[in-house]
């Protein structure tokens, strides 16, 4: 079964990191990604650009409405994701617990609704 590991953190925290601190965090994510690949669990994963770069759209009364980010005033923003394959929720939760994002933010685990 596929699971989305959505990584939420404070993007302001990232903006205030030194290059050395960022290097350490990226190395931890690299090791985690490699562990997923070696276990055959990795489907895909990517970091996301900051929320101020994003746009959100909807339609209302047939008109397109486009909003520039950020969209919500919260401490944590969606910063990236992993899409993994796991035999069950417990295994997906184990992978989420090993994610570096769990140490400085929140990892939301959601089963993918396969249609």
- Summarize pLDDT for 33-62 with one digit per residue, the tens: 999 999 999 999 999 988 888 888 889 999
> Among positive and negative, which fits the CA dihedral 92, 95, 97, 99?
negative
Q: pTM (2 decimals)? A: 0.87
- What is the pLDDT of the chain when averaged over all its residues? 92
CATH 3.30.360.10 fits 2-111, yes or no: no
Backbone φ, ψ for residue 2 (5° rounding): -90, 145
Q: Are 31 and 39 within 8 A, CB to CB?
A: no
The burial class, CB within 10 Å (0-12 / 13-18 / 19+), for 37 is exposed
Judge contact between 36 and 85, C-beta under 8 A: no
């Amino acid at each position: 079964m596929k699971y989305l590991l959505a990584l939420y953190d404070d993007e302001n925290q990232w903006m205030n990191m030194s290059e050395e601190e960022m290097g350490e965090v990226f190395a931890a994510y690299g090791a985690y990604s490699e562990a997923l690949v070696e276990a055959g669990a990795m489907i895909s994963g990517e970091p996301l650009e900051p929320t101020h770069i994003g746009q959100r759209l909807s339609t209302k009364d047939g008109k397109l409405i486009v909003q520039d980010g950020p969209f919500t005033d919260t401490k944590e923003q969606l910063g990236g994701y992993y899409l993994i394959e796991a035999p069950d929720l417990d295994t997906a939760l184990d992978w989420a617990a090993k994610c570096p994002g769990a140490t400085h933010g929140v990892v939301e685990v959601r089963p993918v609704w396969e249609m």
